[in-house]
Homo-oligomer: A and B are copies of this chain.
Amino acid sequence: MHSKRPLILVTNDDGMFAPGIRRLVAIASEMGEVIVVAPNSPQSAKGHAITMEDPIRLHKVDAFKGIEAYECSGTPVDCVKLAKNVLLKNRKIDLCVSGINHGSNSSISILYSGTISAAMEAAIEGINSIGFSLDDYSMDADFDPATPWVRSIMQYVLINGIEYSKLLNVNIPHSKNSPIKGTLVCRQSEGRWEEEFMEGLDPRGQKFYWLTGKFVTNDAGPGTDIYALRDGYISIVPSLHDLTSHQAIPGLKSMELLNPHA
């Protein structure tokens, strides 16, 4: 007999034993049938990478009591592709949730994040998806204050869907010193990572560069995700995989007159 409970796919970029995904699985299993597919190695900052040059492995693991779970040797996006096409054989997935990431994925981090890219892959497939991140990089991060909010947001999307978007990028403030004030529906703040590469010499005297850097933004006013987080609110940014700048099209129409053979 077919279950009426919603089918929820859970993934992340930190792997099966990160406390963030364990919390997300616990919440999801209260409200539906859950399948978990997560990378078997750290896949932070893998963006929308997929594995084309190599085979991918899936290993069924007993990570969560009574819940089907698989470790995948690929990227977060590979996890979603394999879940949908191989494991679920294109059964309808009602919701995909990714995270809870240890560390914020607000502003431009949406593009680098494996967590959000996994959710976006589900969105491309027409599945309502939510990427959750907690603004605390620690593996000891306290997910308790976030938990009821994550539950509410998932329930909202299961009931209402997401019009004009399939993906919510949800960032939860570090709530060590003050309680979460609520949620704000925002736009992605314009910002960037200002890089400073650590330079050094390896044991064989060869030069290396190691990525470091800090996030910088001049766009942290009301209405942005950065503003919400700094003010103690959960930021919710409805996001798209259509990257077209529709506003730019009219001004570029003169390019259609280019004729290098004239």
Contacts and interface: CB of A to CB of B under 8 A. Distances in A.
Nearest to A151: B260
A66 to B, nearest CB: 24
A209 B56 contact: yes
Nearest to A211: B52
A111 B241 contact: yes
B209 A252 contact: no
Interface stretch (A17-25, A81-89, A94-102, A134-142): A81-89
Contact of A182 (B110, B148, B163, B258): B258
A82 B196 CA distance: 9
Given A211-B81, A236-B252, A252-B162, A187 B246 contact: yes
What DSSP secondary structure best describes chain A's contact surface?
Answer: mixed
A181 B89 CA distance: 42
A144 interface: no
Interface string A71-90: 00001011001101110000
Give the interface residue-count category, chain A: 35 or more
Given A163-B251, A211-B78, A238-B252, A57 B188 contact: no
B256 A183 contact: yes
A255 B82 contact: no
Interface string A45-77: 111111111111110000000000000000101
A195 B81 contact: yes
Contacts of A192: 124-125
A158 interface: no
List the 3 closest A-B pairs by CB distance, nearest first. Answer: A47-B48, A148-B260, A55-B208
18 contacts: A44-B52, A44-B53, A49-B75, A56-B209, A57-B207, A85-B197, A111-B120, A111-B124, A149-B258, A149-B260, A153-B258, A156-B258, A165-B245, A183-B255, A236-B252, A238-B245, A239-B243, A240-B244
Interface of A: 42, 44-58, 75, 77-78, 81-82, 84-86, 108, 110-112, 117, 120, 124-125, 148-149, 151-153, 156, 160, 162-165, 169, 182-188, 190, 192, 195-197, 199-200, 202, 206-211, 236-249, 251-256, 258-261
